[in-house]
Amino acid sequence: MSSHLQREDEAHRDAPTPGPAHCCRTVQSSGSTGTRIHVYTFIQSDSEKLPLLDNEMFHSIKPGLSAYADSPEMAGHTVRMLLKVAKKTVPRLEWKRTPVVLRATAGLRLLTTDKAQALLDQVQHVFDESPFLVPDNSVSIMNGTSEGILAWVSLNFLTGHLNAQTKKTVGILDLGGGSTQITFLPKMRKTIESIPVADYVARFDIFNSTFELYTHSYLGNGLMAARLATLGALVAEGLEWRTFKSSCLPKKFRDEWSFGGLTYRVSGDPDGYSGYKLCYQEVLKVVKGIIHQPYELKDSDVFYAFSYYFDRAVDAGLIDGVQGGMLEVRDFKKKAKEVCSKMAKNPLITPFLCMDMTYITCLLKDGFGFKESTVLQLTKKVNNVEASWALGATLDHFHNLKIH
């Protein structure tokens, strides 16, 4: 993350409002499956303390910017539409002192440097023409470590753990389209000692505490990227004529499917078998030897799981789409088996549901090594605020978390 972003206290130097400062900030999160805007309003009465989050406005547009890799001006259009929403949310008098920042995640990390830069340039141009405050480094690709840490900061801020004196915190699991992140505060020394390479640990300061987190982002292990890998569709050639088959799809299913600006012909295996067991073998290839198993997960507390973990749990009928809920890892497994065995007879809510549920089960069990009894708190929103790294990025902007 940038350390030279303009701080809120600087932006407020000429602020007319006496007393507690109300500040707004817009973050655009550019993911592989969509571009979103978050406008946060904070109340900051004491610069020594964490601010209070007063309100959030959220809006999203599909597809993600990476779908415009070959027509970057369309990326500018997406961002212009989202800034229109920001203009409606932020009072006109506040525009000039409201910073606007875009952070891109896996979708742009997966593109070549030139293509990603052309998209970022378009976004920068739209920002520069906007009436908002455009800080240095306002448009960039965020690295996976920051993505994991900032999502952890968001969830722990929203659940009140960052204010508490106790060092009790919650771990997070984030499943995007292109990448997946796991971040938690280890309790055992051995967890840090047994990491494969140094970049699985990140230290950062927030107010008067230093945290040493286990965090990792797996590029290519987001749900959509995992579909591609399962189908064997990561090949560069033959997209025009090849059909990618999988026993995770209904046997008679045949269609086109697009991700990251490319379209693939996909189908079930009409002459072969389909179902959970075969599907598990297919998705295991995407996980095995790639995902590191942290030492202490076997007897860990609750993890907050959001993004596609939440969306698919809703699609499969495991939780309510508004309330969310608590599930055990074994609930995903049981449901995956059920969905896969039924797909031949009943049309699924999405033809990919068996593949997605089986992948999630495999990622949790054979990937991270969770026990079947591990509890996951599935959530879309905490206290009406979207669960994502964007809030953490905002706190970082105003309070400089110093990730090292």
Ligand X SMILES: O=c1ccn([C@@H]2O[C@H](COP(=O)(O)OP(=O)(O)O)[C@@H](O)[C@H]2O)c(=O)[nH]1
Positions annotated as catalytic residues are 147
As beta bridge partners, residue 99 has 133
Interaction of residue 35 with ligand X, rule CB under 6 A: no
The interface with ligand X within residues 137-196 (CB under 6 A) comprises: 176-179
377 carries a ligand binding annotation = no
CB nearer ligand X, residue 30 or residue 361: 30
Residue with tokens 């596609």: 308
Q: How far is the CB of 68 from ligand X (least distance, A)?
A: 14
Pick from 22, 25, 36, 397: which binds ligand X (CB under 6 A)? 36
How far lies 265's CA from each of 193, 240, 248, 262, 274, in Å?
A: 45, 8, 15, 10, 18
- Helix (H) or strand (E) run with residue 141 in it: strand 139-141
Residues facing residue 256 across a β-bridge: 265
What is the rounded CA–CA span in Å between residue 247 and residue 188?
Answer: 40
Helix, strand, coil tally for the chain in percent (to 5): 35, 25, 40
- 186: cis peptide before it, omega within 30°? no
Segment contacting ligand X by CB under 6 A, of 31-39, 188-196, 250-258, 322-330: 31-39
Q: Is 76 in the site for ligand X (CB under 6 A)?
A: no
Q: Please name the residue ranges forming H helices in 208-307.
A: 223-231, 276-287
Determine the longest span between alpha carbons in the chain, in angstroms.
73
* Of residues 227-266, those binding ligand X (CB under 6 A): none
CB nearer ligand X, residue 145 or residue 179: 179
179 annotated to a ligand binding site: yes
State yes or no: cis peptide before 63, omega within 30 of 0. yes
Q: Which stretch binds ligand X (CB under 6 A): 29-37, 123-131, 231-239, 267-275?
A: 29-37
Of 122, 145, 230, 388, the one binding ligand X (CB under 6 A) is: 388
Q: Which residue has the tokens 């739209």?
A: 126
92 contact partners, CB below 8 Å, separation of at least 6:
none
Judged by CB under 6 A, does residue 32 bind ligand X? Answer: yes
Closest approach, Cβ 105 to ligand X, in A, equals 3
Q: Is 390 in the site for ligand X (CB under 6 A)?
A: yes
Both tokens of 9, joined, read: 């206290």
For position 392 contacting ligand X by CB under 6 A, the verdict is no
Name the 3-class secondary structure at 195.
Answer: coil
- For residue 362, the tally of other CB atoms under 10 A from its CB is 26
Our finding on whether 216 is near ligand X (CB under 6 A) is no
Q: Of residues 86-125, which lie at the interface with ligand X (CB under 6 A)?
A: 105-107
In whole angstroms, how close is the CB of 175 to ligand X at the nearest point?
A: 7
Helical residues (DSSP H) of 327-404, grouped into ranges = 329-342, 353-362, 390-399
Take residue 216 and report the two structure tokens written for it.
């990792």
Q: Which is nearer to ligand X, 107 or 148 (CB)?
A: 107
* Minimum separation from the CB atom of position 214 to ligand X (A): 19
Site string for ligand X, 46-65 (x = CB under 6 A): ------------------x-
Annotated ligand binding at 300? The verdict is no
Strands 303-307 and 171-175: parallel
* Number of other CB atoms surrounding residue 56 within 10 Å: 18
Residue whose beta carbon is closest to ligand X? 31
Q: In this structure, what token pair is assigned to residue 37?
A: 């805007």
Question: Under the criterion CB under 6 A, does residue 222 sit at the interface with ligand X?
Answer: yes
Q: 176, 31 in Cβ contact below 8 A? A: yes
Residue 171 marked as a ligand binder? no
Site mask, ligand X, residues 269-308, x = CB under 6 A? --------------------------------------xx
Per-residue x/- marks for ligand X, 311-350, CB under 6 A?
x---------------------------------------
**Binding positions for ligand X, rule: CB under 6 A:** 29, 31-34, 36, 64, 105-107, 176-179, 222, 307-308, 311, 386, 388, 390
**Known binding-site positions:** 177-181
**Known binding-site positions for ATP:** 177-181
